[in-house]
């Protein structure tokens, strides 16, 4: 049986699981075990089959099912690109299902989650498999609606209802853009199969327009600034396993859509469009992480950090486009591989971190970091895996996040080969923005980890917390191990990704795994190389050496005492640094520009014992400058149009009459 048939079977199985979910929702325990257990098994099967197809480098396969539009049918295909994204989707799906086997116990409204969860997974799989515009859009919409239902699972909270509303609006906007893009692609001939679109020639202006529409459509789903507003509202509102899927996987499906259209269907891009993509990505990355730094809700912080990573991915997309437009095949393959690597990495560590946040939430009932603290003592395993995720996402060696960013930097360094002056100057500037984002990400995760897991407990819920169940722990340990694996042996991952680049760009990086010591050399030895294995081994060896030496030379004794408060011992844990306090220096440096941040201190006069108050004002400029005026404009127009509902009969008649005459006039002038 071909891999494609297995994948489609898995989708069918997931849809069947959704039906079971409807039926079994009345009995929470049975429903949970059957739905999440089945989903985990099906996703694992799909994962194995997709990974097999990718590693064996199977030729692209296509199936036409007699569904959907009668003259079109539904095309599904499996080529290396979709196989890779299936791996990302199903790995995330399997982990999230495993996690939910334990975590789902805390769900108080299972009937609102169980049916939609497998449907959401099925939708994401279908988007990646679809091979004609109609099934693609249908699956895309299905995925959006299923995830919307999951966002609305806890709809009694007003914030979640608002999140669902904004999400629905933005998702519709995105789908509209995709619809227009595919309409332009199909042209007047109206052939909606991907194979036909790929062969048809596209006029340059159409290609540019399609790229822009895709940037809006896929970018709004992925969370590109300024289309990101729904993401930090919707992702944290869902149950944690769904947050992990939405952040770690669904944004990747959006990126898949962008790659599929821009790199596969459009053909040779124009260099100026790559500049636009670079600019969007370069702005998104630091802005996203600055938002994350200002946040004190753990899950929202993670959602904002997703925006940063999407920015990084779009930067490398832009780089790949720029090199491709100038026929620099090898750097293009480098940037492209780096991007896929980052897609894979981000799906791993973002799922891991959301699982960790969910574990903290279920153990303490808190998402507000200012009420947490000291969890490293209460939740030892969770704190270790969360630390791994934090290091990996901060792009620090020897974990995987560093490797993909290193590859992107290597691609940035190839910018002098580009002939256009604009790109030559833009690319290093974008590189600086990326470096800024990476450094801020490290700051952000020092804050997230330090406030949540370190220090002393800030609230009563935290001091009674205990470690989560075994399923959740297993679901967190697996991605943590994979993060380390991909960081230490990046050559294997890069080799697995190589056929995709050769398929779409016509060139690939040299095979990495035969190289001595398993190091990676993306372009040439003289240009730069990295060996994760050796660096990790070096760190471990020198740490152990220093440990042994210290044991031999120094006393091993330890005394415990109260923390030294410099003469002022404060027994109140609230006097510790808070999330907002930690971000204060960065807020002062960057916030005044990005958020128009202002601190207002109300100090009581001397002698008065009232507490001093500090108020921080932050303005979400994207919301205030773009969305609020837009919403006001729409509401204003609607109010004005509302009068049309209260006309007299004569009024209505004259309206109809005027319309008719106008149409006739148009017809008369046109023909």
Q: For Cα atoms 619, 226, 210, give the angle at the middle one, nearest 5 degrees.
A: 170
The count of chain residues that interact with another protein, using the rule CB under 8 A, is: 89
- 531 part of the interface to another protein, by CB under 8 A: yes
- For residue 62, which phi and psi values (nearest 5 degrees)? -140, 140
Q: Could you tell me the smallest distance in angstroms from the CB atom of residue 467 to another protein?
A: 15
Stretch 57-116 residues interacting with another protein (CB under 8 A): none
- Cβ count within 10 A of residue 108: 10
Residue number with CB closer to another protein (1 or 558)? 558
What minimum distance in Å lies between the beta carbon of 517 and another protein? 7
539 binds another protein (CB under 8 A): yes
b/e burial code for range 461-479 (CB count within 10 A of at least 16 → b): ebbebebbeebbbebbbbb
Query: Hey, what's the torsion of the CAs at 508, 510, 513, 517, to 10 degrees?
Result: -140
Per rule CB under 8 A, is residue 570 in the interface with another protein?
A: yes
Candidate segments 13-21, 76-84, 444-452, 601-609, binder of another protein by CB under 8 A: 444-452
Query: How near is the Cβ of 358 to another protein at its closest, in Å?
Result: 22
> Contact between 435 and another protein (CB under 8 A)?
yes
Considering only 243, 274, 382, 576, the residue that binds another protein (CB under 8 A) is 576
397 lies in the site for another protein, by CB under 8 A = yes
Among 12, 19, 67, 593, binds another protein (CB under 8 A): 593
Rounded CA gap, 265 and 210, in Å? 10
- Cβ closer to another protein: 161 or 456? 456
For 613, the enclosing helix (H) or strand (E) is strand 613-617
Residue selected from 561, 571, 605, 607 as contacting another protein according to rule CB under 8 A: 561
| 614 contributes a contact to another protein by CB under 8 A | no
When asked if residue 386 is in the footprint of another protein (CB under 8 A), the reply is no
**What single-letter DSSP state applies at residue 350?**
H
Measured CA to CA, the distance from residue 96 to residue 472 in angstroms comes to: 9
Site string for another protein, 340-379 (x = CB under 8 A): ---------------------------------xx-xx--
The least CB distance from residue 284 to another protein, in Å, is 16
Interface with another protein includes 566 (CB under 8 A)? yes
Cβ(411)–Cβ(292) below 8 Å:
no
In 104-203, which residue ranges form alpha helices assigned H by DSSP?
Answer: 116-129, 133-151, 158-186, 194-199
574 near another protein, rule: CB under 8 A = no
- State the CB neighbour count (10 A cutoff) for residue 534: 14
CB of 422 to another protein, least distance (A): 7
- Considering the rule CB under 8 A, would residue 431 count as an interface residue with another protein? yes
The token pair at 61 is 């396969």
Residue 459 interacts with another protein (CB under 8 A)?
A: no
Handedness of CA 14, 163, 621, 600 (dihedral sign): negative
DSSP class of 262: I
Stretch that binds another protein, among 70-78, 193-201, 389-397, 504-512 (CB under 8 A): 389-397
Candidate residues 163, 391, 497, 509; the one interacting with another protein per rule CB under 8 A: 391
Listed ranges 50-58, 117-125, 488-496, 535-543: which one lies at the site for another protein (CB under 8 A)? 535-543
Q: Is 530 in the site for another protein (CB under 8 A)?
A: yes
Smallest gap from residue 555 Cβ to another protein (A)? 6
Among 201, 466, 514, 557, binds another protein (CB under 8 A): 557
Give the number of residues written for the chain: 671
Nearby residues of 637 by Cβ (< 8 Å), 6 or more positions away: none
Q: Which is nearer to another protein, 3 or 440 (CB)?
A: 440
Instruction: Please report which helix (H) or strand (E) contains residue 65, including its range.
Output: strand 61-65
Residues whose CB falls within 8 Å of the CB of residue 444, separated by 6 or more in sequence, listed in order: 289, 292, 293, 301, 305, 394
Count Cβ atoms within 10 A of the Cβ of residue 365 and give its class: 0-12 exposed, 13-18 middle, 19 or more buried. middle
Q: Cβ of residue 525: shortest distance to another protein, in angstroms?
A: 7
Q: Which residues pair with 602 in a beta bridge?
A: 613
What is the nearest approach in angstroms of another protein to the Cβ of residue 289? 10
Contact flag: residue 540 with another protein (CB under 8 A):
yes
Which range in 10-18, 81-89, 264-272, 419-427 contacts another protein by CB under 8 A? 419-427
In the block, tokens 């601190």 appear at: 599
> What part of residues 218-247 is at the interface with another protein (CB under 8 A)?
none
DSSP code per residue over 76-94: EEE-HHHHHHHHHHHHHHH
Q: How many CA atoms lie within 13 A of 86 on its CB side?
A: 34
Binding mask 133-172 for another protein (x = CB under 8 A): ----------------------------------------
Structure-token pair, residue 519: 């190091």
Residue 413 within binding range of another protein, rule CB under 8 A: yes
DSSP result, 87-114: HHHHHHHHHHHHHHHHHGGG-S-GGGTT
169, 276, 279, 454: residue in contact with another protein (rule CB under 8 A): 454
Measured from the CB of residue 661, what is the shortest distance to another protein in angstroms? 52
Helices 298-325 and 400-412: crossing angle in degrees, nearest 10, is 30
Nearer to another protein, 205 or 517 (CB): 517
Query: Using CB under 8 A, which of the segments 162-170, 322-330, 486-494, 578-586 binds another protein?
Result: 578-586
Q: Counting beta carbons within 10 angstroms of the beta carbon of residue 387, is it exposed (0 to 12), middle (13 to 18) or buried (19 or more)?
A: middle
**Residue 514 near another protein by CB under 8 A:** no
Yes or no: say if 247 and 302 are a contact pair by the CB < 8 Å rule.
yes
Which C-beta is closer to another protein: that of 44 or that of 576?
A: 576
Contact segment (CB under 8 A) with another protein among 102-110, 166-174, 266-274, 569-577 equals 569-577
The DSSP letter of residue 295 is -
Q: Which stretch, 79-87, 134-142, 500-508, 532-540, contacts another protein (CB under 8 A)? A: 532-540
What burial class does residue 106 get, using C-beta atoms within 10 Å of its C-beta: 0-12 exposed, 13-18 middle, 19+ buried? middle
Nearest distance from C-beta of residue 266 to another protein, angstroms: 27
Residues 331 and 314 sit within 8 Å (Cβ to Cβ): no
550 binds another protein (CB under 8 A): yes
Q: At its nearest, how many Å lie between another protein and the CB of residue 496?
A: 22
């Amino acid at each position: 049986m071909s891999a494609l048939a297995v994948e489609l079977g898995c989708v069918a199985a997931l849809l069947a699981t959704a039906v079971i979910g409807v039926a079994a929702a009345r009995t929470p325990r049975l429903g949970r075990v059957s739905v999440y257990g089945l989903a985990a098994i099906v996703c694992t099967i799909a994962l194995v089959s997709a990974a097999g197809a990718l590693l064996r480098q199977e030729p692209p396969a296509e199936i036409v099912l007699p569904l959907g539009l009668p003259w079109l049918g539904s095309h599904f295909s499996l080529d290396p690109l979709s196989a890779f994204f299936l791996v990302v989707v199903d790995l995330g799906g399997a982990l999230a299902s495993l996690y939910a086997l334990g975590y789902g116990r805390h769900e108080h409204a299972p009937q609102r989650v169980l049916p939609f969860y497998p449907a959401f997974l099925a939708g994401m799989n279908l988007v990646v498999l679809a091979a004609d515009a109609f099934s693609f859009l249908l699956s895309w919409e299905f995925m959006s609606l299923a995830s919307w239902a999951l966002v609305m699972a806890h709809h009694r909270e007003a914030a979640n209802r608002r999140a669902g509303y904004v999400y629905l609006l933005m998702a519709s906007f995105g789908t509209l853009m995709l619809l227009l893009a595919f309409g332009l692609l199909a042209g007047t001939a109206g052939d909606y199969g991907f194979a036909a679109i790929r062969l048809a020639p596209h006029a340059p202006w159409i290609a540019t327009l399609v790229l822009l529409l895709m940037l809006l459509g896929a970018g709004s789903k992925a969370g590109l600034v300024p289309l990101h507003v729904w993401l930090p509202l919707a992702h944290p509102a869902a149950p944690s396993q769904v947050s992990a899927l939405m952040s770690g996987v669904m944004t990747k499906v959006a990126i898949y859509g962008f790659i599929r259209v821009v790199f596969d269907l459009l053909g040779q891009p124009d260099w100026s469009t790559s500049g636009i993509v670079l600019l969007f990505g370069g702005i998104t990355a630091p802005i996203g992480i600055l938002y994350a730094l200002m946040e004190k809700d753990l899950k929202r912080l993670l959602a904002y950090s997703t925006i940063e990573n999407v920015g990084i991915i779009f930067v490398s997309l832009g780089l790949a486009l720029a090199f491709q437009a100038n026929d620099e095949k090898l750097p293009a393959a480098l940037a492209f591989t780096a991007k896929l690597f980052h897609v894979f990495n981000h799906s791993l560590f973002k799922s891991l971190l959301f699982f960790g946040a969910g574990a903290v939430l279920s153990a303490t009932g808190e998402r507000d970091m200012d009420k947490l603290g000291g969890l490293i003592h209460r939740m030892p395993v969770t704190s270790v895996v969360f630390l791994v995720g934090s290091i990996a996402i901060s792009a620090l060696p020897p974990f995987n996040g560093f490797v993909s960013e290193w590859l992107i930097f290597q691609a940035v360094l190839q910018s002098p080969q580009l002939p256009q002056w604009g790109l030559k100057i833009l690319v290093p500037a974008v590189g600086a923005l990326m470096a800024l984002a990476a450094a801020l990400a490290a700051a952000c995760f020092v804050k997230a980890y330090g406030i949540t897991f370190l220090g002393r407990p800030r609230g009563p819920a935290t001091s009674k917390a205990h470690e989560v169940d075994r399923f959740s722990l297993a679901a967190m340990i697996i991605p943590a191990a994979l993060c380390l694996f991909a960081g230490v042996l990046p050559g294997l991952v890069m080799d697995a990704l190589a056929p995709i680049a050769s398929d779409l760009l016509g060139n690939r990086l040299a095979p990495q795994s035969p190289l001595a010591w398993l190091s990676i050399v993306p372009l040439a030895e003289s240009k730069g190389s990295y060996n994760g294995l050796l660096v990790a081994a070096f760190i471990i060896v020198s740490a152990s050496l220093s440990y042994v030496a210290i044991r031999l030379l120094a006393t091993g004794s330890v005394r415990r005492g109260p923390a030294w408060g410099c003469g002022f011992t404060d027994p109140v844990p609230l006097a510790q640094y808070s999330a907002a306090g930690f971000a204060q220096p960065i807020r002062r440096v960057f916030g005044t520009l990005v958020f128009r941040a202002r601190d207002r201190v109300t100090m009581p006069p001397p002698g008065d014992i009232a507490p001093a108050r500090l108020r921080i004002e932050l303005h979400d400029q994207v919301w205030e400058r773009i969305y609020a005026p837009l919403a006001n404009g729409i509401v204003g127009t609607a109010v004005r149009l509302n009068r049309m509902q209260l006309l007299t009969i004569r009024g209505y008649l004259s309206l109809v009459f005027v319309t008719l005459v106008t149409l006739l006039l148009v017809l008369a002038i046109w023909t």
